[in-house]
Structure 1
Amino acid sequence: MRSLDAYEKKRDFEATPEPRAELVEAGGDRLSFVVQKHDASSMHYDFRLEWGGVLLSWAVTKGPSADPSQKRLAVRTEDHPVAYGTFEGTIPEDEYGGGTVMLWDSGWWEPLHDPEEGLKDGKLHLRLHGARMKGGWALVRMEDERDEKNENWLLIKERDDFARDGAEVLTESHKTSVTTGRTMREITEGKAPALPSHNKPRPRFRKVQLATLKDAPPEGKDWQHEAKFDGYRCVIALGKGGVRLYSRNGKDWSDRFGALCEPAAALDCDSALIDGEVIAGRGGGDFSTLQKALKSGDALTFHAFDCMVLDGEDLTGKPLSARRKALQELFGGLPPRGPLRLSPIIEGEGADALAAMCDAGGEGIVSKRRDAPYRGGRSKAWIKSKCIRRAEFVIAGWSPSTKRGRPFASLLLGSYESGALVFRGRVGTGFDEDDFKELEPALASLAQRSAPFDGALPTEGQDANWVTPKLVVEAEYTEFTREGRIRHGVYKGLREDKEAREVSAKAEAETEGDDERAIGGVRVSSVGRVVYPEAGLTKGEVAGHYAKVGKRMLTHAADRPLSLLRCPDGISGECFFQKHAGKGFPDTVKTMPIEEKDGEREDYMYVSTPEGLIGAAQMGTLEFHIWGAARDRIERPDRMVFDLDPDEELDFKRVKAAAQQVREGLTACGLQSVPMVTGGKGVHVIAPLRRISGWDTVKYFARTFAETLADRDPDALTATMSKSKRKGRVFIDWLRNERGATAIAPYSLRARPGAAVAVPVSWDELDDLERPDGFHPQDMKDRLSRRCPLLAPEARGIGKGVLEALEDWSKG
């Protein structure tokens, strides 16, 4: 992230309409660019590129030229906030930069090399996708002209299909705003934007298509995957008569979404009916933030993901691929960071898309069949998969509170199933002062004497105050119990876009609440679900394995950053790695901040107790992969691992022979080691270390050692990852010893058909083993009765003596 200090110091935000200094998350699928014609002390054009959470800015004195023979002076100015990319208006004369600002061009840009290197070296090459500036361009710093006050660059058009003869053709051809159609004078005079004329009748609202909830996303090329947003569904209708913004049930919410009306009216078409989601906050939005934004008038963003009607043509019968193309053409010229945006498609298979979304802290994804038409109502052509357990419920009552200032302790919730109101538990956390102020009078106005539930009164309702079930809320929860009630509910806000009678939690309850029991003191749901079909192992038995081996496993895995391999539907379904805890993880799976290569800090998962292992198993974890360092000294590794990965044609004898070669080499260098059969097809040779050296030293030793060993026996070994180099050889994977790399934890299950377990063994025992995947959960009782082989060797540090021994050994 860059700094906006210079931008902020130059402006009085009480006087200027310019946006305040606010950094945004860098990156995204498209980086915005904008050109603003600026009539300040002298007329010029401000050329801005989004990078590092800001807009890099240059003042182009004569404006950009599409003639490659013209080299236009571009003076580097202070970085601007990304929100400046939508600013058009007049800055007061007495303020910095006083004068009229026009949005002359906007779009997105592609860096053709590393922008950081380009800025440093003074050569920035890029491709622009704007309404007016297109194709290749270059910014070149004038080194001889650089001084303390000004950093002078040249903006030059490259020769391509978008180049034009004539120095001023580009600026003379376009004298109005790219978004409002106004001239500089009209902007100065405050004239209303010249919006496109919508010549066809405004389409009527149509019933929106809804997604079906599944545990995992579908796979294959027939599906595209998009982010699941955390906001309000919204349908934009525009045509003759103006713009209307509707809720998912067809209520006219144009007043509530008022900030989006003008941007929607500026869409260049005769008529349209567009489906999407309104959010507030960063990323995929936050429902609580949206609730506050609607009350305070803060900024809203509309993400479009479907188009039902365009220019009078009904597109609902066409495949999604055709509707998406129409939507892309309509939204193509809009700024990527503007109030109207195109919902991005997440590339890759469904499991990878969901894993990426969960790892980023998102809510989930929606998978859509590319060849399917648009059909109102619930459909299996759209599948939603969640990272976060969240659903809508109806308020049926409230429990009194003994705390001063708190009008209730918890809300009692229900949902309508086959016309009957079913009790779904309670929610007692997540409320702030504004929520209490909103809910207290609303509940009072709906008070009634009798419980509204059909059937027996829940025990939680003995002292409850009942209300007419009309208010709909959204709540997060950790799981559904066997009785169909939520556990650990967290209030997220009222939903005003849904009728109470429409609220059902049947899909969520059936997905997650089939059976549960306590294992190792942890409630585990869906214990009967088979996750290893070939071995017949259930989710409950997986949790039971980690309860059994927990103390032994934590001797080697406790308090280390983890990567978890999660398989929510078992190994026959989709699996994904996760290293950052998402919402819904139990408290026993803890987090710790770690600085990454780019200098940013991210929260990594770790566990300290058997309950943490079981809690991760409750979340569908099968495999635990660990760092080579503990969290109290994260920069000092305490183990070195060589993963011996054989070519598929080799038998286990070759792997065992390679392990013995690694052992002999390490012994020659003064290090003791222990083998571990991985439960896969290979062996790990593990050397415990004293924590006296950093990652670079350990990595240097591991690489030098592996390459030396491979050079000595090139027909049998390789230290190169390339598959072509592995043919007929065992790959000595030394890369497990890099900072951030992980290796399978001792006593972890493997997500493979036989449900094998990674088990440390003695060297003598390794000689007698016939395969590396011969240990299973049923063998653990016997293993736990013995001392763990990993506790036998003495930990030694990679200090001067060991490095000298490595050098001597490598020369021998």
Structure 2
Amino acid sequence: MDNCAESATLYFKSGSSDKVYQAQIDAADGGGYVVNVAYGRRGGSLATGTKTKSPVDHAAALRIFHKVLSEKRSKGYTDGDAGTPYLHSESAGRVSGLVPQLLNVIDEAEVGRVVADPLWVMQEKFDGRRLMLRKVGGTVEGINKLGLVINVAAPIAAAAQTIPGDLVLDGEAIGDRFHVFDMLSHDGTELREQPYSARYGALAALLDSAGPSAHLGYVDCWTDAADKADQLAALRTRNAEGAVFKRWDAPYRQGRPSSGGAQLKLKFVATASAVVTTINQQRSVGVSLLDGGGWRSVGNVTVPANQNVPQLGDVVEVRYLYAAQVGGALYQPVLLGVRDDVEPTECVVAQLKFKAS
């Protein structure tokens, strides 16, 4: 970043945990300095925040910067090479006016039908964070799945600046690469009511004309039934996150339908977003899911030593082998971390993958 005065990246690796923490001193637009941070799983899309509520002088920023690094080192983080810088927006946290189209899960039993149907196309499901990117003039901002403005990795923002015209893109961010699968508007033309085939075609043509980028590109899309079947098998073989199926003739509809819908996801790895409802003594938490009008406990999950214990009411992501048919308890749950882009009302029993009877 041009206005980044100083930065450092720390790493923590223990067992299956591999995390990164970045702190940087940025020059504030109105004078003074702020200390911003980005953190999360290495190679993933990082959460961002700030350690200064308002700009401070450089000496104060340095003290805060070094205090933050000292605290992380005391917890086992070690120094490493510089990581991906993030653009920190003063608008972060405000309502953007945009909400992405969210997908329901498709059952394995239904996969064959959509693979064979020419009206459904298939794409790879990436293991990142949902991100909408809005570019207006020289300003690029990110929007999360809740519709809130968030900070964007600087390389992604820089890549977006090379694309001509104002636009809104929808995709998945992994580290400093943005995998784009939809375009909602471009240069004043609203595209959401157009079928996905038209939106995807316009997206591919635009990004092809802008030239290749290491940090932003559109995802492959398979339309032929045989290609879909072959690619689905290939995704399973390389242990990909999953696949996404979309109606080729459907417009863009924000939010998540109560069931079904024109966009569906197939997850090869079972994960669920759940709400922390109890804090146990032995570094574990109890998690629950909405079942009708009430909360159903689905068991306890151990908090890894390198993670802070979540608070009551936090939404957390849990990986598991399967859920019990009776009661829904999660078998072999693993806590992946806190989710700040998922609402408690989204934590429903319908997410679960149950053990075959």
Interval of TM-score (by shorter of Structure 1 and Structure 2): 0.5 to 0.7
Distance 1:351 1:487, change over 3 A: farther
1:345 maps to 2:226: no
| Superposition map of 1:632-781 within 5 A | none
- Which of residues 376, 387, 390 is equivalent to 2:271? 390
Instruction: Show structure 1 runs of 5+ residues with no match.
Output: 1-203, 281-299, 402-407, 447-466, 514-524, 528-812
Residue 381 of structure 1: aligned partner: 262
1:266 maps to 2:162: yes
In 2: Cα distance, 1:419 partner to 1:266 partner: 48
Alpha carbons 1:354, 1:387 under 8 Å: kept:
no
- Which of residues 393, 411, 429 is equivalent to 2:285? 411
What's the CA shift for 1:230?
1.1
Residue 336 of structure 2: aligned partner: 492
Q: Secondary structure at the match of 2:149?
A: coil
Residue 227 of structure 1: aligned partner: 124
Q: Secondary structure at the match of 1:366?
A: strand
Alpha carbons 2:164, 2:210 under 8 Å: kept:
no
**Bigger helix fraction:** 1
1:212 maps to 2:104: yes
In 1: Cα distance, 2:333 partner to 2:211 partner: 39
Q: Which has the larger radius of gyration?
A: 1
**Bigger strand fraction:** 2
| Superposition map of 1:209-358 within 5 A | 209-216=101-108, 217=111, 218-219=114-115, 220-240=117-137, 242-254=139-151, 256-269=152-165, 271-280=166-175, 300-333=176-209, 336=212, 338-346=214-222, 348-349=224-225, 350-358=228-236
Distance 1:227 1:356, change over 3 A: same
Q: Secondary structure at the match of 2:269?
A: coil
Distance 1:214 1:526, change over 3 A: same
| Superposition map of 1:622-637 within 5 A | none
| Superposition map of 1:243-642 within 5 A | 243-254=140-151, 256-269=152-165, 271-280=166-175, 300-333=176-209, 336=212, 338-346=214-222, 348-349=224-225, 350-379=228-257, 380-401=261-282, 408=283, 410-428=284-302, 431=304, 433=306, 435=307, 439-440=308-309, 443=310, 446=311, 467=312, 469=313, 471-482=314-325, 483-504=327-348, 506-509=349-352, 512-513=353-354, 525-527=355-357
| Superposition map of 1:801-812 within 5 A | none
Of all paired residues, the percent bearing the same amino acid is 28
For residues 678-714 of structure 1, the C-alpha deviation after alignment (integer angstroms, 9 at most, x for no partner) is: xxxxxxxxxxxxxxxxxxxxxxxxxxxxxxxxxxxxx
In 2: Cα distance, 1:208 partner to 1:386 partner: 19
Question: RMSD of aligned C-alpha atoms?
Answer: 2.1
Alpha carbons 2:162, 2:210 under 8 Å: kept:
no
What's the CA shift for 1:497?
1.1
In 1: Cα distance, 2:164 partner to 2:305 partner: 42
Residue 51 of structure 2: aligned partner: none
What's the CA shift for 1:252?
1.1
- Residue identity in the other structure for 2:191: L
Distance 1:313 1:432, change over 3 A: farther
Distance 1:432 1:358, change over 3 A: farther
In 2: Cα distance, 1:355 partner to 1:375 partner: 29
Count of residue correspondences: 251
What's the CA shift for 1:250?
1.4
Q: Secondary structure at the match of 2:201?
A: helix
Instruction: Show structure 2 runs of 5+ residues with no match.
Output: 1-95
In 2: Cα distance, 1:346 partner to 1:323 partner: 15
Q: Secondary structure at the match of 2:103?
A: strand
Alpha carbons 2:118, 2:223 under 8 Å: kept:
no
| Superposition map of 1:161-240 within 5 A | 205-216=97-108, 217=111, 218-219=114-115, 220-240=117-137
User: Which one has more relative contact order, counting CA pairs under 8 Å at least 6 apart?
Assistant: 2
What's the CA shift for 1:499?
2.1
For residues 555-591 of structure 1, the C-alpha deviation after alignment (integer angstroms, 9 at most, x for no partner) is: xxxxxxxxxxxxxxxxxxxxxxxxxxxxxxxxxxxxx
Residue 650 of structure 1: aligned partner: none
What's the CA shift for 1:387?
1.0
TM-score of the aligned structures, taking structure 2 as reference length: 0.65
Alpha carbons 2:120, 2:223 under 8 Å: kept:
no
What's the CA shift for 1:251?
1.3
What's the CA shift for 1:334?
5.0
Alpha carbons 1:473, 1:495 under 8 Å: kept:
yes
Alpha carbons 1:226, 1:344 under 8 Å: kept:
yes
Distance 1:486 1:323, change over 3 A: same
- Residue identity in the other structure for 2:133: I
- Residue identity in the other structure for 1:413: V
In 2: Cα distance, 1:478 partner to 1:355 partner: 21
In 2: Cα distance, 1:335 partner to 1:491 partner: 40
Alpha carbons 2:272, 2:347 under 8 Å: kept:
no
Alpha carbons 1:205, 1:237 under 8 Å: kept:
no
What's the CA shift for 1:241?
6.1
What's the CA shift for 1:332?
0.8
